[in-house]
Structure 1
Amino acid sequence: MNDVVSHRLNLPDGRRLGWHEWGAENGKTVIFCPGAGMAGAIPFGEAAARRMGLRILSVDRAGLGASDANSEKSFASWSGDVASLLQHRGGNEALAIGFSQGAPFALALADTGLVNAVSVVSGQDELASPEVFSQLPEPVANMVQLAKDDPERLEADVAAIATAEWLWQMIETMSGPQDRAFYASETFAPLYRRALEEGFRQGAAGYARDTRLAMAPWPFRLEDIVCPVQLWYGLADTSPVHAPDFGETLNKRLPNSKLMRLENEGSAILWSHAEAILEDLAGMG
Protein backbone atom coordinates (compact mmCIF):
# COMPACT_ATOMS: atom_id res chain seq x y z
CA MET A 1 0.00 0.00 0.00
CA ASN A 2 2.99 2.34 0.33
CA ASP A 3 3.03 3.02 -3.41
CA VAL A 4 -0.64 4.06 -3.56
CA VAL A 5 -1.31 7.80 -3.84
CA SER A 6 -4.82 9.19 -3.30
CA HIS A 7 -6.35 12.31 -4.85
CA ARG A 8 -9.63 14.22 -5.12
CA LEU A 9 -10.84 16.36 -8.00
CA ASN A 10 -13.50 19.07 -7.98
CA LEU A 11 -15.97 18.20 -10.75
CA PRO A 12 -17.88 20.76 -12.85
CA ASP A 13 -21.13 20.17 -10.91
CA GLY A 14 -19.43 20.78 -7.55
CA ARG A 15 -19.03 17.16 -6.51
CA ARG A 16 -15.62 15.69 -5.71
CA LEU A 17 -14.19 12.60 -7.35
CA GLY A 18 -11.75 10.39 -5.47
CA TRP A 19 -9.19 8.03 -6.94
CA HIS A 20 -6.12 6.07 -5.88
CA GLU A 21 -3.17 5.38 -8.18
CA TRP A 22 -0.01 3.31 -8.48
CA GLY A 23 2.45 2.12 -11.11
CA ALA A 24 4.76 4.08 -13.41
CA GLU A 25 4.92 7.74 -12.39
CA ASN A 26 4.16 9.15 -15.84
CA GLY A 27 2.73 5.99 -17.35
CA LYS A 28 -0.23 5.47 -19.63
CA THR A 29 -3.51 5.79 -17.74
CA VAL A 30 -5.46 2.66 -16.85
CA ILE A 31 -8.88 3.40 -15.32
CA PHE A 32 -9.72 0.62 -12.87
CA CYS A 33 -13.42 0.06 -12.15
CA PRO A 34 -13.56 -1.87 -8.85
CA GLY A 35 -16.01 -4.57 -7.87
CA ALA A 36 -19.24 -4.30 -5.92
CA GLY A 37 -19.14 -1.89 -3.00
CA MET A 38 -15.38 -1.42 -3.21
CA ALA A 39 -13.51 1.87 -2.84
CA GLY A 40 -10.02 2.91 -1.86
CA ALA A 41 -7.51 0.50 -3.34
CA ILE A 42 -6.39 -3.10 -3.26
CA PRO A 43 -3.38 -2.72 -5.55
CA PHE A 44 -2.55 -5.36 -8.13
CA GLY A 45 0.37 -5.74 -10.50
CA GLU A 46 2.40 -2.86 -9.02
CA ALA A 47 5.79 -4.03 -10.29
CA ALA A 48 4.39 -5.08 -13.67
CA ALA A 49 2.65 -1.72 -14.11
CA ARG A 50 5.89 0.12 -13.41
CA ARG A 51 7.79 -2.06 -15.84
CA MET A 52 5.16 -1.71 -18.58
CA GLY A 53 4.77 2.04 -18.20
CA LEU A 54 1.21 1.94 -16.86
CA ARG A 55 -0.36 4.17 -14.20
CA ILE A 56 -3.41 2.47 -12.66
CA LEU A 57 -6.13 4.76 -11.32
CA SER A 58 -8.68 3.02 -9.09
CA VAL A 59 -11.65 5.40 -9.25
CA ASP A 60 -14.32 5.54 -6.53
CA ARG A 61 -17.73 5.68 -8.17
CA ALA A 62 -20.13 8.39 -6.97
CA GLY A 63 -21.39 7.71 -3.45
CA LEU A 64 -18.56 5.31 -2.62
CA GLY A 65 -15.35 6.07 -0.75
CA ALA A 66 -13.93 9.52 -1.47
CA SER A 67 -16.36 10.36 -4.30
CA ASP A 68 -19.37 12.50 -3.43
CA ALA A 69 -22.82 11.05 -3.99
CA ASN A 70 -24.79 11.81 -7.12
CA SER A 71 -28.55 11.28 -6.97
CA GLU A 72 -28.57 11.21 -10.78
CA LYS A 73 -25.80 8.63 -11.08
CA SER A 74 -25.91 6.67 -14.32
CA PHE A 75 -23.46 5.11 -16.73
CA ALA A 76 -23.45 8.44 -18.57
CA SER A 77 -22.63 10.43 -15.43
CA TRP A 78 -19.87 7.93 -14.57
CA SER A 79 -18.36 8.41 -18.02
CA GLY A 80 -18.60 12.16 -17.52
CA ASP A 81 -16.72 11.90 -14.22
CA VAL A 82 -13.95 9.88 -15.86
CA ALA A 83 -13.81 12.33 -18.77
CA SER A 84 -13.22 15.14 -16.26
CA LEU A 85 -10.48 13.08 -14.60
CA LEU A 86 -8.73 12.41 -17.91
CA GLN A 87 -8.95 16.10 -18.84
CA HIS A 88 -7.51 17.01 -15.44
CA ARG A 89 -4.57 14.71 -16.10
CA GLY A 90 -3.95 16.26 -19.49
CA GLY A 91 -4.24 13.09 -21.53
CA ASN A 92 -6.82 11.76 -23.93
CA GLU A 93 -5.67 8.15 -24.23
CA ALA A 94 -6.53 5.58 -21.61
CA LEU A 95 -7.23 1.90 -21.03
CA ALA A 96 -9.72 0.33 -18.60
CA ILE A 97 -10.10 -2.70 -16.38
CA GLY A 98 -13.47 -3.75 -14.98
CA PHE A 99 -13.56 -6.27 -12.14
CA SER A 100 -16.79 -8.04 -11.16
CA GLN A 101 -19.57 -5.40 -10.90
CA GLY A 102 -17.10 -2.88 -12.33
CA ALA A 103 -17.28 -4.60 -15.74
CA PRO A 104 -20.27 -2.67 -17.14
CA PHE A 105 -18.74 0.60 -15.93
CA ALA A 106 -15.54 -0.19 -17.85
CA LEU A 107 -17.54 -1.16 -20.94
CA ALA A 108 -19.51 2.10 -20.66
CA LEU A 109 -16.21 3.97 -20.96
CA ALA A 110 -15.46 2.02 -24.12
CA ASP A 111 -18.91 2.79 -25.51
CA THR A 112 -18.29 6.52 -25.11
CA GLY A 113 -14.84 6.27 -26.67
CA LEU A 114 -12.98 7.33 -23.53
CA VAL A 115 -10.73 4.27 -23.54
CA ASN A 116 -8.91 2.43 -26.31
CA ALA A 117 -9.09 -1.09 -24.85
CA VAL A 118 -10.74 -2.90 -21.94
CA SER A 119 -9.95 -5.93 -19.81
CA VAL A 120 -13.00 -7.47 -18.16
CA VAL A 121 -11.86 -9.64 -15.25
CA SER A 122 -14.33 -11.98 -13.54
CA GLY A 123 -16.85 -9.52 -14.88
CA GLN A 124 -20.60 -9.28 -14.60
CA ASP A 125 -22.36 -9.89 -17.91
CA GLU A 126 -25.54 -8.06 -18.93
CA LEU A 127 -27.70 -10.32 -16.80
CA ALA A 128 -30.91 -8.82 -18.19
CA SER A 129 -30.12 -9.90 -21.76
CA PRO A 130 -32.33 -12.87 -22.76
CA GLU A 131 -29.43 -15.23 -23.54
CA VAL A 132 -27.92 -14.70 -20.09
CA PHE A 133 -31.14 -14.30 -18.07
CA SER A 134 -32.21 -17.83 -19.01
CA GLN A 135 -29.05 -19.21 -17.37
CA LEU A 136 -29.42 -17.45 -14.00
CA PRO A 137 -30.32 -19.17 -10.74
CA GLU A 138 -33.76 -18.17 -9.49
CA PRO A 139 -32.71 -15.71 -6.71
CA VAL A 140 -30.50 -13.74 -9.11
CA ALA A 141 -33.11 -13.92 -11.88
CA ASN A 142 -35.68 -12.46 -9.48
CA MET A 143 -33.40 -9.50 -8.70
CA VAL A 144 -32.71 -8.90 -12.39
CA GLN A 145 -36.42 -9.07 -13.18
CA LEU A 146 -37.09 -6.48 -10.46
CA ALA A 147 -34.32 -4.30 -11.91
CA LYS A 148 -36.19 -4.40 -15.23
CA ASP A 149 -39.72 -3.95 -13.84
CA ASP A 150 -39.17 -1.63 -10.87
CA PRO A 151 -35.55 -0.45 -10.62
CA GLU A 152 -36.37 2.08 -7.89
CA ARG A 153 -37.76 -0.75 -5.74
CA LEU A 154 -34.64 -2.89 -6.24
CA GLU A 155 -32.41 0.04 -5.33
CA ALA A 156 -34.45 0.78 -2.19
CA ASP A 157 -34.46 -2.87 -1.14
CA VAL A 158 -30.68 -3.16 -1.50
CA ALA A 159 -30.06 0.15 0.28
CA ALA A 160 -32.20 -1.01 3.21
CA ILE A 161 -30.13 -4.12 3.96
CA ALA A 162 -26.62 -3.62 2.55
CA THR A 163 -23.61 -2.93 4.76
CA ALA A 164 -19.92 -3.66 4.36
CA GLU A 165 -20.26 -6.69 6.65
CA TRP A 166 -23.34 -7.93 4.79
CA LEU A 167 -21.53 -7.73 1.46
CA TRP A 168 -18.44 -9.44 2.87
CA GLN A 169 -20.58 -12.31 4.12
CA MET A 170 -22.36 -12.57 0.76
CA ILE A 171 -19.05 -12.68 -1.12
CA GLU A 172 -17.79 -15.42 1.19
CA THR A 173 -21.01 -17.39 0.71
CA MET A 174 -20.98 -17.09 -3.09
CA SER A 175 -17.28 -17.90 -3.46
CA GLY A 176 -15.97 -21.38 -4.07
CA PRO A 177 -13.35 -22.97 -1.80
CA GLN A 178 -10.40 -21.57 -3.75
CA ASP A 179 -11.65 -17.98 -3.78
CA ARG A 180 -12.81 -18.21 -0.20
CA ALA A 181 -9.34 -19.22 0.88
CA PHE A 182 -7.77 -16.37 -1.10
CA TYR A 183 -10.17 -13.63 0.00
CA ALA A 184 -10.09 -14.74 3.64
CA SER A 185 -6.29 -15.08 3.81
CA GLU A 186 -4.39 -13.14 6.46
CA THR A 187 -2.76 -10.89 3.87
CA PHE A 188 -5.76 -10.22 1.61
CA ALA A 189 -8.79 -10.17 3.92
CA PRO A 190 -7.84 -6.94 5.76
CA LEU A 191 -7.38 -5.16 2.40
CA TYR A 192 -10.68 -6.43 1.01
CA ARG A 193 -12.62 -5.61 4.17
CA ARG A 194 -11.07 -2.13 4.25
CA ALA A 195 -12.10 -1.58 0.63
CA LEU A 196 -15.69 -2.51 1.50
CA GLU A 197 -15.66 -0.30 4.60
CA GLU A 198 -14.45 2.58 2.42
CA GLY A 199 -17.15 1.78 -0.11
CA PHE A 200 -19.86 2.05 2.53
CA ARG A 201 -18.47 5.04 4.43
CA GLN A 202 -21.32 7.22 3.06
CA GLY A 203 -23.93 4.50 3.58
CA ALA A 204 -25.37 1.95 1.17
CA ALA A 205 -26.86 4.28 -1.46
CA GLY A 206 -23.84 4.28 -3.78
CA TYR A 207 -23.65 0.49 -3.87
CA ALA A 208 -27.43 0.19 -4.25
CA ARG A 209 -27.43 2.46 -7.31
CA ASP A 210 -24.51 0.54 -8.82
CA THR A 211 -26.41 -2.72 -8.35
CA ARG A 212 -29.51 -1.27 -10.00
CA LEU A 213 -27.49 -0.02 -12.97
CA ALA A 214 -25.54 -3.26 -13.37
CA MET A 215 -28.58 -5.57 -13.14
CA ALA A 216 -31.00 -3.58 -15.30
CA PRO A 217 -30.71 -3.65 -19.10
CA TRP A 218 -27.63 -1.64 -20.01
CA PRO A 219 -28.22 1.59 -21.98
CA PHE A 220 -25.49 0.76 -24.48
CA ARG A 221 -25.13 -2.12 -26.93
CA LEU A 222 -22.18 -4.44 -26.56
CA GLU A 223 -22.36 -5.01 -30.30
CA ASP A 224 -21.42 -1.33 -30.85
CA ILE A 225 -18.20 -1.45 -28.80
CA VAL A 226 -15.45 -1.58 -31.41
CA CYS A 227 -12.31 -1.28 -29.27
CA PRO A 228 -10.46 -4.47 -28.24
CA VAL A 229 -11.87 -6.20 -25.16
CA GLN A 230 -10.07 -8.98 -23.33
CA LEU A 231 -12.32 -11.23 -21.21
CA TRP A 232 -10.71 -13.07 -18.29
CA TYR A 233 -12.57 -15.77 -16.34
CA GLY A 234 -11.51 -18.48 -13.94
CA LEU A 235 -13.53 -21.63 -14.48
CA ALA A 236 -13.66 -22.24 -10.71
CA ASP A 237 -15.50 -18.91 -10.19
CA THR A 238 -18.80 -19.83 -8.51
CA SER A 239 -20.27 -16.33 -8.24
CA PRO A 240 -23.86 -16.34 -9.61
CA VAL A 241 -23.67 -12.62 -10.48
CA HIS A 242 -20.65 -12.67 -12.79
CA ALA A 243 -21.17 -14.54 -16.07
CA PRO A 244 -22.92 -17.91 -15.86
CA ASP A 245 -21.21 -19.08 -19.07
CA PHE A 246 -17.76 -17.67 -18.15
CA GLY A 247 -17.80 -14.99 -20.83
CA GLU A 248 -19.11 -16.99 -23.78
CA THR A 249 -22.08 -14.69 -24.45
CA LEU A 250 -20.00 -11.57 -23.91
CA ASN A 251 -17.44 -12.88 -26.38
CA LYS A 252 -20.14 -13.51 -28.99
CA ARG A 253 -21.72 -10.08 -28.59
CA LEU A 254 -18.56 -7.98 -28.55
CA PRO A 255 -17.22 -7.53 -32.10
CA ASN A 256 -13.54 -7.28 -31.12
CA SER A 257 -13.01 -9.50 -28.09
CA LYS A 258 -10.87 -12.39 -26.95
CA LEU A 259 -11.88 -14.84 -24.23
CA MET A 260 -9.31 -16.17 -21.77
CA ARG A 261 -10.49 -18.97 -19.49
CA LEU A 262 -8.22 -20.28 -16.75
CA GLU A 263 -8.64 -23.80 -15.42
CA ASN A 264 -8.63 -24.27 -11.66
CA GLU A 265 -8.82 -20.50 -11.02
CA GLY A 266 -11.61 -18.49 -9.41
CA SER A 267 -12.59 -14.83 -9.45
CA ALA A 268 -9.40 -13.65 -7.71
CA ILE A 269 -7.41 -13.78 -10.97
CA LEU A 270 -7.16 -9.98 -10.96
CA TRP A 271 -4.53 -10.38 -8.23
CA SER A 272 -3.15 -13.85 -8.96
CA HIS A 273 -2.68 -13.18 -12.70
CA ALA A 274 -2.23 -9.41 -12.69
CA GLU A 275 0.95 -9.44 -14.77
CA ALA A 276 -0.61 -11.40 -17.64
CA ILE A 277 -3.76 -9.25 -17.57
CA LEU A 278 -1.78 -6.01 -17.67
CA GLU A 279 0.55 -7.31 -20.37
CA ASP A 280 -2.36 -8.18 -22.65
CA LEU A 281 -4.09 -4.88 -21.94
CA ALA A 282 -0.94 -2.88 -22.71
CA GLY A 283 -0.59 -4.82 -25.95
CA MET A 284 -4.16 -3.99 -27.00
CA GLY A 285 -3.84 -0.29 -26.24
Structure 2
Amino acid sequence: MEDPARLGVTVLRDGRELAWAEWGPMDGRPVVFCPGAGWGRWLGFGDGLLAELGVRLVSVERPGLGDSTAAPGRTLLDWADDVEQLGLDRPAVVGFSQGAPFALACAARGFTSAVAIVSGGDELAHPGMALPPEVRQLVDLAATDPTTAEIEFARFGSAETLWRLTIDGSAELDREIYLQPRFEKAFRRTLDAGFAQGPAGYARDTLLHFAPWPFRLENLTPTVHLWYGAQDTNPTHSPDHGATLATRIPNAIRHYLPNAGGALLWTNARPILTHLLE
Protein backbone atom coordinates (compact mmCIF):
# COMPACT_ATOMS: atom_id res chain seq x y z
CA MET A 1 0.00 0.00 0.00
CA GLU A 2 1.35 3.43 -0.92
CA ASP A 3 2.22 5.90 1.82
CA PRO A 4 0.46 9.27 1.60
CA ALA A 5 2.04 11.78 -0.75
CA ARG A 6 1.20 14.67 1.56
CA LEU A 7 0.14 15.17 5.18
CA GLY A 8 -1.48 18.28 6.62
CA VAL A 9 -3.64 19.89 9.25
CA THR A 10 -6.39 22.47 8.69
CA VAL A 11 -7.26 24.86 11.52
CA LEU A 12 -11.04 25.18 11.73
CA ARG A 13 -13.01 28.31 12.62
CA ASP A 14 -13.34 27.24 16.26
CA GLY A 15 -9.60 26.62 16.58
CA ARG A 16 -9.73 22.83 16.34
CA GLU A 17 -7.39 21.01 13.99
CA LEU A 18 -8.52 18.57 11.30
CA ALA A 19 -5.76 16.25 10.10
CA TRP A 20 -5.65 14.74 6.63
CA ALA A 21 -3.50 12.77 4.20
CA GLU A 22 -3.45 12.97 0.41
CA TRP A 23 -2.57 10.73 -2.50
CA GLY A 24 -2.55 11.57 -6.21
CA PRO A 25 -1.89 14.81 -8.08
CA MET A 26 -2.40 18.12 -6.25
CA ASP A 27 -4.41 19.46 -9.18
CA GLY A 28 -6.59 16.35 -9.43
CA ARG A 29 -10.31 16.27 -8.81
CA PRO A 30 -10.81 16.19 -5.03
CA VAL A 31 -12.27 13.02 -3.54
CA VAL A 32 -12.77 13.11 0.23
CA PHE A 33 -12.37 9.73 1.91
CA CYS A 34 -14.38 9.02 5.08
CA PRO A 35 -12.62 5.89 6.37
CA GLY A 36 -13.81 3.04 8.56
CA ALA A 37 -14.33 2.67 12.30
CA GLY A 38 -11.41 3.87 14.38
CA TRP A 39 -9.18 4.61 11.40
CA GLY A 40 -6.52 7.25 11.14
CA ARG A 41 -5.51 8.82 7.84
CA TRP A 42 -2.80 6.38 6.73
CA LEU A 43 -4.66 3.86 4.56
CA GLY A 44 -5.94 4.96 1.17
CA PHE A 45 -6.98 3.07 -1.95
CA GLY A 46 -6.53 3.23 -5.70
CA ASP A 47 -2.78 2.59 -5.78
CA GLY A 48 -1.54 3.20 -9.31
CA LEU A 49 -4.86 4.65 -10.49
CA LEU A 50 -5.06 8.12 -8.99
CA ALA A 51 -2.66 9.86 -11.37
CA GLU A 52 -4.23 8.09 -14.35
CA LEU A 53 -7.75 9.11 -13.33
CA GLY A 54 -6.75 12.57 -12.14
CA VAL A 55 -7.89 12.02 -8.55
CA ARG A 56 -6.65 13.89 -5.49
CA LEU A 57 -7.68 11.53 -2.68
CA VAL A 58 -7.98 13.22 0.74
CA SER A 59 -8.44 10.97 3.78
CA VAL A 60 -9.64 13.00 6.78
CA GLU A 61 -9.34 11.97 10.42
CA ARG A 62 -12.56 12.55 12.30
CA PRO A 63 -12.41 14.50 15.60
CA GLY A 64 -10.71 12.53 18.36
CA LEU A 65 -9.04 10.16 15.88
CA GLY A 66 -5.40 10.43 14.90
CA ASP A 67 -4.26 14.05 15.04
CA SER A 68 -7.70 15.68 14.74
CA THR A 69 -8.81 17.61 17.81
CA ALA A 70 -11.54 15.93 19.82
CA ALA A 71 -15.03 17.45 19.78
CA PRO A 72 -17.20 15.85 22.48
CA GLY A 73 -20.90 15.88 21.67
CA ARG A 74 -20.35 16.35 17.94
CA THR A 75 -22.96 15.24 15.39
CA LEU A 76 -22.84 13.84 11.88
CA LEU A 77 -23.71 17.25 10.47
CA ASP A 78 -20.96 18.88 12.56
CA TRP A 79 -18.56 16.55 10.74
CA ALA A 80 -19.88 17.72 7.37
CA ASP A 81 -19.36 21.33 8.44
CA ASP A 82 -15.75 20.48 9.34
CA VAL A 83 -15.13 18.92 5.93
CA GLU A 84 -16.62 21.91 4.14
CA GLN A 85 -13.99 24.09 5.83
CA LEU A 86 -11.24 22.22 3.96
CA GLY A 87 -12.16 24.49 1.05
CA LEU A 88 -12.32 21.79 -1.62
CA ASP A 89 -14.32 22.63 -4.73
CA ARG A 90 -17.42 20.39 -4.98
CA PRO A 91 -15.58 17.26 -3.87
CA ALA A 92 -16.81 13.76 -4.48
CA VAL A 93 -16.96 11.75 -1.25
CA VAL A 94 -16.30 8.07 -0.51
CA GLY A 95 -17.54 6.46 2.70
CA PHE A 96 -16.21 3.03 3.61
CA SER A 97 -17.83 0.89 6.32
CA GLN A 98 -18.56 3.18 9.29
CA GLY A 99 -17.53 6.13 7.13
CA ALA A 100 -20.85 5.79 5.27
CA PRO A 101 -23.03 8.03 7.50
CA PHE A 102 -20.27 10.65 7.57
CA ALA A 103 -20.11 10.68 3.76
CA LEU A 104 -23.90 10.92 3.53
CA ALA A 105 -23.88 13.81 6.00
CA CYS A 106 -21.67 15.69 3.56
CA ALA A 107 -24.27 15.02 0.86
CA ALA A 108 -26.99 16.30 3.20
CA ARG A 109 -25.09 19.57 3.58
CA GLY A 110 -25.17 19.95 -0.20
CA PHE A 111 -21.53 20.62 -1.09
CA THR A 112 -20.68 17.25 -2.68
CA SER A 113 -20.72 16.44 -6.39
CA ALA A 114 -21.35 12.70 -5.91
CA VAL A 115 -20.99 10.02 -3.25
CA ALA A 116 -19.82 6.41 -3.20
CA ILE A 117 -20.75 4.22 -0.24
CA VAL A 118 -18.54 1.13 -0.24
CA SER A 119 -19.40 -1.83 2.02
CA GLY A 120 -21.12 0.84 4.02
CA GLY A 121 -22.83 0.92 7.36
CA ASP A 122 -26.58 1.43 7.07
CA GLU A 123 -28.94 3.55 9.17
CA LEU A 124 -29.39 0.69 11.60
CA ALA A 125 -32.01 2.63 13.58
CA HIS A 126 -34.31 2.92 10.55
CA PRO A 127 -37.70 1.33 11.39
CA GLY A 128 -38.09 -2.21 10.16
CA MET A 129 -34.36 -2.85 9.66
CA ALA A 130 -33.69 -6.56 10.24
CA LEU A 131 -30.67 -6.87 12.53
CA PRO A 132 -28.86 -9.63 14.42
CA PRO A 133 -29.92 -9.61 18.09
CA GLU A 134 -26.57 -8.35 19.37
CA VAL A 135 -26.65 -5.41 16.94
CA ARG A 136 -30.31 -4.66 17.74
CA GLN A 137 -29.43 -4.36 21.45
CA LEU A 138 -26.77 -1.76 20.70
CA VAL A 139 -29.06 0.19 18.37
CA ASP A 140 -31.78 0.29 21.02
CA LEU A 141 -29.27 1.39 23.67
CA ALA A 142 -27.96 4.18 21.41
CA ALA A 143 -31.52 5.47 20.95
CA THR A 144 -32.69 5.22 24.57
CA ASP A 145 -29.52 5.87 26.57
CA PRO A 146 -26.84 7.40 24.34
CA THR A 147 -24.57 8.31 27.26
CA THR A 148 -24.35 4.71 28.42
CA ALA A 149 -23.98 3.48 24.84
CA GLU A 150 -21.03 5.79 24.24
CA ILE A 151 -19.36 4.59 27.46
CA GLU A 152 -19.86 0.98 26.37
CA PHE A 153 -18.40 1.66 22.92
CA ALA A 154 -15.36 3.29 24.54
CA ARG A 155 -14.80 0.26 26.78
CA PHE A 156 -14.91 -1.99 23.76
CA GLY A 157 -12.80 0.07 21.38
CA SER A 158 -9.11 -0.49 20.70
CA ALA A 159 -6.90 -0.92 17.67
CA GLU A 160 -6.32 -4.60 18.41
CA THR A 161 -10.02 -5.29 19.00
CA LEU A 162 -11.00 -3.78 15.66
CA TRP A 163 -8.23 -5.64 13.88
CA ARG A 164 -9.42 -8.94 15.32
CA LEU A 165 -13.06 -8.13 14.49
CA THR A 166 -12.08 -7.34 10.92
CA ILE A 167 -10.17 -10.58 10.47
CA ASP A 168 -12.49 -12.88 12.41
CA GLY A 169 -15.68 -11.38 10.96
CA SER A 170 -14.63 -11.35 7.31
CA ALA A 171 -15.08 -13.93 4.60
CA GLU A 172 -12.03 -15.88 3.49
CA LEU A 173 -11.63 -13.89 0.26
CA ASP A 174 -11.41 -10.67 2.32
CA ARG A 175 -9.01 -12.15 4.86
CA GLU A 176 -6.67 -13.03 2.00
CA ILE A 177 -6.47 -9.33 1.16
CA TYR A 178 -6.27 -8.01 4.73
CA LEU A 179 -3.54 -10.47 5.71
CA GLN A 180 -1.22 -9.63 2.84
CA PRO A 181 1.89 -8.32 4.64
CA ARG A 182 1.89 -4.82 3.12
CA PHE A 183 -1.84 -4.40 3.62
CA GLU A 184 -1.77 -5.67 7.20
CA LYS A 185 1.06 -3.29 8.04
CA ALA A 186 -0.82 -0.29 6.59
CA PHE A 187 -4.12 -1.33 8.16
CA ARG A 188 -2.62 -1.79 11.62
CA ARG A 189 -0.83 1.54 11.28
CA THR A 190 -4.06 3.38 10.54
CA LEU A 191 -5.84 1.68 13.46
CA ASP A 192 -2.99 2.52 15.82
CA ALA A 193 -3.18 6.14 14.67
CA GLY A 194 -6.95 6.18 15.08
CA PHE A 195 -6.68 5.24 18.75
CA ALA A 196 -3.68 7.46 19.52
CA GLN A 197 -5.91 9.69 21.69
CA GLY A 198 -7.74 6.76 23.25
CA PRO A 199 -11.14 5.26 22.38
CA ALA A 200 -13.37 8.33 22.81
CA GLY A 201 -13.30 9.35 19.14
CA TYR A 202 -14.19 5.85 18.02
CA ALA A 203 -16.94 5.66 20.64
CA ARG A 204 -18.54 8.90 19.44
CA ASP A 205 -18.37 7.76 15.81
CA THR A 206 -20.02 4.47 16.68
CA LEU A 207 -22.79 6.15 18.64
CA LEU A 208 -23.51 8.44 15.68
CA HIS A 209 -23.63 5.41 13.37
CA PHE A 210 -25.99 3.38 15.59
CA ALA A 211 -28.31 6.23 16.61
CA PRO A 212 -30.96 7.73 14.28
CA TRP A 213 -29.29 9.98 11.73
CA PRO A 214 -30.08 13.73 11.83
CA PHE A 215 -30.99 14.01 8.15
CA ARG A 216 -33.39 12.25 5.83
CA LEU A 217 -31.87 10.06 3.16
CA GLU A 218 -35.01 10.67 1.12
CA ASN A 219 -33.97 14.34 0.76
CA LEU A 220 -30.47 13.78 -0.63
CA THR A 221 -29.91 15.24 -4.09
CA PRO A 222 -26.45 14.05 -5.29
CA THR A 223 -25.96 10.77 -7.09
CA VAL A 224 -25.06 8.10 -4.53
CA HIS A 225 -23.36 4.93 -5.72
CA LEU A 226 -23.87 1.99 -3.35
CA TRP A 227 -21.24 -0.75 -3.62
CA TYR A 228 -21.72 -4.09 -1.88
CA GLY A 229 -20.29 -7.57 -2.24
CA ALA A 230 -22.55 -10.54 -1.61
CA GLN A 231 -19.78 -12.27 0.35
CA ASP A 232 -19.45 -9.40 2.85
CA THR A 233 -20.12 -10.91 6.30
CA ASN A 234 -19.56 -7.84 8.50
CA PRO A 235 -22.67 -7.58 10.76
CA THR A 236 -22.57 -3.77 11.07
CA HIS A 237 -22.47 -3.10 7.34
CA SER A 238 -25.81 -2.87 5.58
CA PRO A 239 -27.87 -5.93 6.61
CA ASP A 240 -29.35 -6.23 3.11
CA HIS A 241 -26.29 -5.01 1.18
CA GLY A 242 -27.82 -1.63 0.40
CA ALA A 243 -31.15 -2.83 -1.02
CA THR A 244 -33.22 -0.67 1.34
CA LEU A 245 -30.78 2.22 1.08
CA ALA A 246 -31.24 2.20 -2.69
CA THR A 247 -34.99 2.69 -2.28
CA ARG A 248 -34.57 5.53 0.23
CA ILE A 249 -32.02 7.66 -1.64
CA PRO A 250 -33.59 9.37 -4.70
CA ASN A 251 -30.53 9.24 -6.98
CA ALA A 252 -29.03 5.98 -5.77
CA ILE A 253 -27.33 3.49 -8.07
CA ARG A 254 -26.70 0.11 -6.45
CA HIS A 255 -23.77 -2.02 -7.57
CA TYR A 256 -24.12 -5.52 -6.13
CA LEU A 257 -21.21 -7.87 -6.86
CA PRO A 258 -22.12 -11.54 -6.25
CA ASN A 259 -18.55 -12.79 -6.06
CA ALA A 260 -17.04 -9.97 -4.01
CA GLY A 261 -16.68 -9.41 -0.27
CA GLY A 262 -16.26 -6.34 1.87
CA ALA A 263 -12.81 -5.32 0.60
CA LEU A 264 -14.24 -3.67 -2.50
CA LEU A 265 -12.17 -0.51 -2.10
CA TRP A 266 -9.06 -2.50 -2.90
CA THR A 267 -10.45 -5.10 -5.31
CA ASN A 268 -12.66 -2.74 -7.35
CA ALA A 269 -11.10 0.70 -6.96
CA ARG A 270 -11.17 1.46 -10.69
CA PRO A 271 -14.93 1.06 -11.27
CA ILE A 272 -15.71 2.74 -7.95
CA LEU A 273 -13.69 5.84 -8.88
CA THR A 274 -14.74 5.80 -12.53
CA HIS A 275 -18.45 5.79 -11.72
CA LEU A 276 -17.93 8.43 -9.02
CA LEU A 277 -16.26 10.80 -11.46
CA GLU A 278 -18.78 10.38 -14.28
Using the size of structure 1 for normalisation, the TM-score is 0.94
1:131 alignment counterpart: 128
Q: Distance in 2 between matches of 1:246 and 1:224?
A: 21
C-alpha distance in structure 1 between counterparts of 2:239 and 2:64, whole Å: 29
**Larger deviation, residues 19-28 vs 209-218:** 19-28
1:131 aligned counterpart, secondary structure: coil
Q: What residue identity is the alignment partner of 1:254?
A: I
* Mapped contact 1:154–1:212 kept (Cα < 8 A): yes
Residue in 2 that maps onto 1:34: 35
Query: Which ranges in structure 2 are unaligned for 5 or more consecutive residues?
Result: none
Q: How many Å separate the matches in 2 of 1:194 and 1:243? A: 26
Alignment of 1:196-275 (within 5 A): 196-275=191-270
- 1:84-143: CA deviation from partner (whole Å, max 9, x where unpaired): 112xxxx431110000000000000000012011000000010000132xx111001111
Shift of 1:151: 1.1
- 2:99 and 2:44 map into 1 onto residues whose CA distance is 15
Amino acid at match of 1:165: E
Length, aligned pairs only: 277
Three-state SS of the structure 2 residue aligned to 1:208 is: helix
* 1:177 and 2:178 matched: no
> Following the alignment from structure 1 to structure 2, what is the Cα–Cα distance between the partners of residues 3 and 171?
23
**Partner secondary structure for residue 77 of structure 2:** helix
Shift, 1:168, TM fit:
1.0
Amino acid at match of 1:7: G
Letter in 1 for 2:225: Q
Secondary structure, aligned partner of 2:86: helix
Give the residue type in structure 1 aligned to 2:151.
A
Match of 1:195 in 2: 190
Q: Hey, what's the Cα distance between the residues in 1 that align with 2:81 and 2:150?
A: 22
What are the superposed Cα offsets for residues 148-199 of structure 1, whole Å, 9 maximum, x if unpaired? 1111111101112311111111222211111122212212111111110000
**In 1, Cα distance between equivalents of 2:41 and 2:106:** 20
**1:71 corresponds to:** 72
**Partners of 2:21 and 2:162 in 1: how far apart?**
22
Q: Could you list the per-position Cα deviations for residues 64-103 of structure 1 after superposition, in whole angstroms to 9, with x for gaps in the alignment?
A: 01111111321121111111112xxxx4311100000000
Q: Deviations over 1:212-262 (max 9, x none)?
A: 000000000000001100000010000110011111000000000110011
Question: For 1:269 and 1:208, how far apart are their aligned partners in 2?
Answer: 25
Kept in 2: contact 1:39–1:196 (CA 8 A)? yes
Cross-structure match for 2:83: 82
| SS state at 1:19 partner | strand
State the SS of the aligned residue for 2:49.
helix
CA deviation vs aligned residue, 1:9-40 (integer Å, no higher than 9, x gap): 11111111100001122011111000000112
Confirm or deny: 8 A CA contact 1:24 1:51 kept in the other structure: no
